[in-house]
Amino acid sequence: MYRYRVERMNMWISRHLVVIWLYLHFSEASPRYSNGFFYQDAMNGNGNGEIHFSGVRLHVESPRSTVAAVQGSNATLPCHYRYEPEIHTPRRTRVKWFRLSSTDGSLEEDVMVAIGTRHRSYGGFRGRVRLRREAPGDASLVISPLTVDDTGLYRCEVIDGLEDESVTVGLEFRGVVFPYYSSRGRYQMNFHEAKQVCEEQGATLATFDQLFAAWEEGLDWCNAGWLADGTAQYPVSTPREACGGAHLAPGLRSYGLRHQHLDHFDAFCFTASLKGTVYFLEQPRRVNFTEAAQACRDAGSEMAKVGQLYAGWRFQGLDRCDAGWLADGSVRYPISRPRANCGPEEAGVRTFGYPPRQQKHGVYCYMPHW
């Protein structure tokens, strides 16, 4: 930030040295630099070389501090700038997008720079980013397609002469939280095992915020699971005696921080939306677990993981009233439109646990899109 300001200051000074000199000698008012917000604008932008001075304030704003996107699709990070008072003459405004690559924001990675209609993108963003420019002052960044590494905090900086103003916008992937228990049974996993099973399902241990968002969307689950912060909690929408008490308000019930080796719970996993497709494999007959794995391979796919089935249900509207094998040996089916004979009245992924592997069922496969 400081670096850029000094660089531009030097350029500005050499270009306008004479003007500054004139200004200092012939203006009664002292130059007003109020922490970079106000500036005295000399010979800038009106195109006919007329010298005039005016205090103009640049505003840079974003209506959203976080954007949630679907991995593999595209995302627009909103950023708008305007002048106060309004300026009608065109200006050479420079827009610069960075990504802050450390939590304290001290490291910046260039994403793109745009001046007028020209723009340039950098590194892994090359060819994938552009400014939306739907209206004057629209400096929103469009990223298309989104890759796995694109989440994080972005900064939109608008530079006009000595002025610069910026706003930050976070990008995260939309995802779904799902409860997971071990094939050994309920409450069998310590923290490290819980972390590992989530990873095996193409997911991560959910954070408190992710579980909270899932609870807001209606997740109700009466078994405590590990979260990424080492606490064990569970979400209750409909308070009842068996789930911490009927008298308590709906919310997350917490067991607090637990011992990471000695305490055992289930897990809450989080998976981001996916680019590939999860589908029920059409077959003439039902199959055991080994045949199911082979059938997916024969179809050029792989057996779906639990996280993939949840993502397909949540983001691709997967709806199928047929129980099918998944890669972890569990049998489940996804219902988006609840109906008779397809489980409870709420949408959700129905789970039959881990039946003996010689049992015959359908199978859900996953086809990645490259």
Closer CB to ligand NAG, 204 or 359, in the complex = 359
Residue among 295, 293, 304, 296 at smallest CA distance from 271: 304
Q: Give me the half-sphere count of Cα atoms (radius 13 Å) on the Cβ side of residue 81.
A: 27
SS3 state at 123: helix
Burial of 112 (0-12, 13-18, 19+ CB in 10 A): buried
Residue among 113, 133, 138 at smallest CA distance from 123: 113
Angle at 199 between CA 214 and CA 344, to 5 degrees: 40
Q: Give Cα separations from 284 to 270, 295, 363 (angstroms).
A: 34, 11, 12
In angstroms, give the least distance from the CB of 73 to ligand NAG: 5
Closer CB to ligand NAG, 8 or 174, in the complex = 174
In angstroms, give the least distance from the CB of 209 to ligand NAG: 26
In angstroms, give the least distance from the CB of 327 to ligand NAG: 14
Q: Which two tokens stand for residue 4?
A: 């850029």
How many residues can be counted in the chain?
370
In angstroms, give the least distance from the CB of 70 to ligand NAG: 8
Contact yes or no for 152/101 (Cβ under 8 A):
yes
Contact yes or no for 329/200 (Cβ under 8 A):
no
Angle at 33 between CA 30 and CA 35, to 5 degrees: 150
In angstroms, give the least distance from the CB of 275 to ligand NAG: 11
In angstroms, give the least distance from the CB of 307 to ligand NAG: 22
Q: How far apart are CA 58 and CA 64, in angstroms?
A: 19
| Residue with the shortest CB distance to ligand NAG | 358
Q: How far apart are CA 241 and CA 365, in angstroms?
A: 39
Helices (H), ranges, the chain:
2-26, 191-200, 208-216, 289-298, 306-315
In angstroms, give the least distance from the CB of 359 to ligand NAG: 8
In angstroms, give the least distance from the CB of 316 to ligand NAG: 13
Contact yes or no for 252/216 (Cβ under 8 A):
no
| Footprint of ligand NAG (CB under 6 A) | 73-74, 142, 144, 288-291, 357-358
Residue with tokens 């989104």: 146
Closer CB to ligand NAG, 196 or 290, in the complex = 290
